[in-house]
């Protein structure tokens, strides 16, 4: 996933139904000698059944919690879409504009408190490691960098086949990837993680080798490819960047239908368009184990 030099200003056209990070605050500076507990937080985004097509989906949202021993204060940190999931996955087709218009950014949100009931009742709230105040402060610096340079949300993972060793053409960039990067950073700073099972959700598309099509200017600009531009617009036409999670999944099934019938998918990734020659099983939502990381530094004794 490409890093960018800065985060672009958001276009006023992009409106979120729910305010992004409404109670967010700056990450506090911890005292070096503080001992901070780190918690893995996970809960379902939305659970539902859809016939026998995909069965019961485990679509989870991930976050990380911190508790300071010196102050007793709790904090939650997560990463999610600025304009909700639909906007990150599907563009708007605006009148008078040739190119699809994307309202797509993701960012970290940090706030005081952990909503114990939310995470415990439906999911997971478990201690994974303990760190020093120094490590927490170093992590905070890294979060700032990560947030300023990794700006676009990417819903899809694209790989060649369901095989474990299969080629990954494109990696997703969403809430769980931020949590995995955070854990890795803490491990590199010396955190020692407990041996517990940790699973994450991925939405995977299966495709032959992707074909690079160009960027917005080369496809939709004055010298662009009119036929290709029309094909991309047609592909996105049924999928409105709806607000509700429920409508998002209705669109997801429209996509599956389209992809299976026509064996094609147009992917917008790092500001570039790609054609995916889709192949069976086309799309899978998996909930698989990704172990907690092992650090590269000498361990920090707690």
Question: Nearest-CA neighbor of 184 among 124, 142, 137?
Answer: 142
Give the full edge-to-edge strand order of the sheet including 35-44: 106-112, 74-81, 60-68, 35-44, 124-132
Between 164 and 220, the more confident residue is: 220
Question: Nearest-CA neighbor of 179 among 82, 79, 289, 285?
Answer: 79
- Tokens representing 255 are 């996509």
Q: Whose structure tokens read 């010298």?
A: 223
| pTM recorded for the entire structure | 0.88
**Amino acid 1: pLDDT:** 67
> pLDDT at residue 82 above 60?
yes
Which of 88, 103, 109, 175 does the annotation list as catalytic? Answer: 175
**Amino acid 285: pLDDT:** 86
How far, in Å, CA of 143 to CA of 175, rounded? 13
Q: Please confirm whether the linkage preceding 284 is cis (ω < 30° from 0).
A: no
**118 catalytic per annotation:** no
Confidence category of residue 50, pLDDT binned at 50, 70, 90? very low
Which of 61, 103, 242, 258 does the annotation list as catalytic? Answer: 61
In 168-218, beta strands by DSSP E: 168-170, 199-207, 211-215
Q: What is the DSSP string of 130-143?
A: EEEHHHHHHHHHHH
- Tokens representing 15 are 């409106």
Give the mean model confidence (pLDDT) for residues 199-212. Answer: 94
Q: Please confirm whether the linkage preceding 281 is cis (ω < 30° from 0).
A: yes
Report the share of the chain in percent with pLDDT over 70: 91
**Amino acid 267: pLDDT:** 95
**175 catalytic per annotation:** yes
Q: How many CB atoms lie within 10 A of CB 301?
A: 7
């Amino acid at each position: 996933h490409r890093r960018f030099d800065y985060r672009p200003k958001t276009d006023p056209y992009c409106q979120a139904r729910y305010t992004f990070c409404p109670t967010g605050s700056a990450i506090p500076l911890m005292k070096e000698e503080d001992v901070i507990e780190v918690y893995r937080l996970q809960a379902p985004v939305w659970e539902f059944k859809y016939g026998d097509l995909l069965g019961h989906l485990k679509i989870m949202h991930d976050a990380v919690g911190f508790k300071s021993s010196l102050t007793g204060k709790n904090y939650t940190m997560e990463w999610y879409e600025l304009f909700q999931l639909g906007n990150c996955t599907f563009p708007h087709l605006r009148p008078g504009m040739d190119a699809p218009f994307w309202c797509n950014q993701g960012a970290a949100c940090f706030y005081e408190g952990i909503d114990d009931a939310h995470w415990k009742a439906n999911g997971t709230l478990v201690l994974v490691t303990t760190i020093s105040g120094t490590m927490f402060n170093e992590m905070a610096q890294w979060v700032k960098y990560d947030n300023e340079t990794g700006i676009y949300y990417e819903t899809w993972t694209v790989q060649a086949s369901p095989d474990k060793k299969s080629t990954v053409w494109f990696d997703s960039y969403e809430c769980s990837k931020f949590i995995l990067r955070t854990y890795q950073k803490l491990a590199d700073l010396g955190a020692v993680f407990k041996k517990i099972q940790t699973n994450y959700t991925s939405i995977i598309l299966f495709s032959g080798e992707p074909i690079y099509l160009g960027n917005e200017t080369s496809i939709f600009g004055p010298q662009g490819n009119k036929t290709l531009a029309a094909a991309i617009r047609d592909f996105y036409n049924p999928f409105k960047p709806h607000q509700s999670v429920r409508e998002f999944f209705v669109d997801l099934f429209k996509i599956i239908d389209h992809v299976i019938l026509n064996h094609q998918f147009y992917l917008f990734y790092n500001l570039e368009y790609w054609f995916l020659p889709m192949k069976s099983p086309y799309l899978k939502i998996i909930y698989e184990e990704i172990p907690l990381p092992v650090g590269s530094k000498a361990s920090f004794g707690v």
